[in-house]
Amino acid sequence: MNDLDQQTRGAIDAVIAGLARAGYICSRQIATAVFLAQHLQKPILVEGPAGVGKTELAKATAAFLDLPLIRMQCYEGLDEAKALYEWKYAKQLLYTQILKDKLGEELNGVKSLSGALKRLHGAGDIFFSEQFLEPRPLLRALQQPAGAVLLVDEVDKSDQEFEAFLLEILSDYQVTVPEIGTIRAPVPPFVVLTSNNARDLGDALKRRCLHLHIGFPEPALEERIIEVKVPGVSASLRRQIVALIQQLRAQDLRKLPSVSETIDWARVLLLLHADHLESETVRETLNVLLKFEADVKAVENKIPALTYQARHAAGDAA
């Protein structure tokens, strides 16, 4: 028992380190999710506000596990012809043409009709076969010999019917093509689904997944994210940036600044050669953080106070 616990802890730490090498700083919970998904062979459904790194998690996992990333962007009206497979129609038509031309040679010397039929059956039916199958992302992910990371992005944008159709793939890692039969994955792919909660996903889908909610990160974690993503920013500025962002998230805004905005802002500040926050700089760059005019207006006259507090919180007694 104790041994197992040691192993588990070590394994989760290894996941954290591995993802960090891929440039993704994550909390222990996220690492646990990746670890469990690997061991239970279950897909992860990631929800959370925009810009907290849901898609990025899949990319980092692919780099960490050294597997190809296959991405499928969902949208309204997505159907199986675009997600799963399609027939190569042109080639199929060509094949029938060739078959017609060759038929004479094939049937050469056969006298009776039944004999001709027998010969025809013997020739093999490849019209519907894997040779004429054009794999789309889902099928391609199942066919990878060494496995893959399959990212089903923004699954909430797709239709309910499509969701139902994902179920077979997610629970059994296989697809059924009516004309051929069932295609099973030699190595189950590591599946990540992301959702922005545009609509409620079905229970059946949720039941099959590990459900990971990524919220806004803790201050310490966010500082490390900036440290990795924007290396040039000094430690004190990093603390101030994070302190200000955390305060902004406590405000009543339409769209709260996310991690991606934090990173963008840190880059901007780096370009402006800022070494600490000034209310003037913050005012001028506020549009990087806030994406709605109303939000900018709501915050604008609080900037001096916010900046002061941020610097104070970051231990800058200036």
Partner 1 sequence: MQAPLLRFFQALRDAGVRVSVAESIDAFNAVAVTGFADREALKDALGLVLAKTLPEKALFAECFDLFFARDALELGDAEAAPPPAQSADGEASALGRMLLEGDGGALAAAMEQAANVAGISGISFFTQANVYGRRILAEMGLEALDREIDALRRQATPAASARADVLDRRRKLLGEGVRDFVKRQLAVYAAGKTQAMREEFLSSVKLTNLDRSDFQRMHAIVRTLAKRLATRHARTRRRARRGQLDLRRTLRQNMATDGMLFRTSWKRQKIERPKVMAICDVSGSVAAVARFLLLFLYSMHEVMAGLRAFAFSDRLVEVSDILERNDIEPAIAAILREVGYGSSDYGGSLENFESGWLDLVDHQTSVIIMGDGRGNYTNPRTDILEALSKRCKRLIWLNPEPDALWGSGDSDMLRYRPYCHYAGVCNSVRHLERAMTDLLES
Contacts with partner 1, residue ranges (CB under 8 A): 1-2, 4-5, 8-9, 12, 28-29, 32-33, 35-36, 39-40, 42, 44-45, 47, 76-77, 81, 86-87, 89, 92-93, 96-97, 100, 127, 159-160, 199-200, 203, 206-213
d(CA 244, CA 314): 9
Q: Report which DSSP code applies to 52.
A: S
CB of 177 to partner 1, least distance (A): 11
CB of 238 to partner 1, least distance (A): 26
**CB closer to partner 1, 105 vs 200:** 200
CB of 79 to partner 1, least distance (A): 8
Phi, psi angle pair for 194, to nearest 5°: -120, 150
**CB closer to partner 1, 86 vs 227:** 86
**CB closer to partner 1, 127 vs 271:** 127
CB of 44 to partner 1, least distance (A): 8
Residues 6 or more apart whose Cβ sits within 8 Å of residue 282: 244, 303, 306, 307
- Please give the structure tokens belonging to residue 110: 């056969």
**CB closer to partner 1, 93 vs 146:** 93
Q: Report which DSSP code applies to 71.
A: E
**CB closer to partner 1, 14 vs 305:** 14
CB of 2 to partner 1, least distance (A): 7
Residue carrying structure tokens 């061991």: 39
- Please give the structure tokens belonging to residue 114: 């039944």
CA distances to 32, 82, 155 from 47, in Å: 16, 24, 10
**CB closer to partner 1, 10 vs 23:** 10
CB of 212 to partner 1, least distance (A): 6
CA distances to 28, 234, 269, 287 from 274, in Å: 32, 10, 6, 17
Residue 210, helix vs strand vs coil: strand
Closest by CA to 266, choosing from 247, 248, 281, is 281
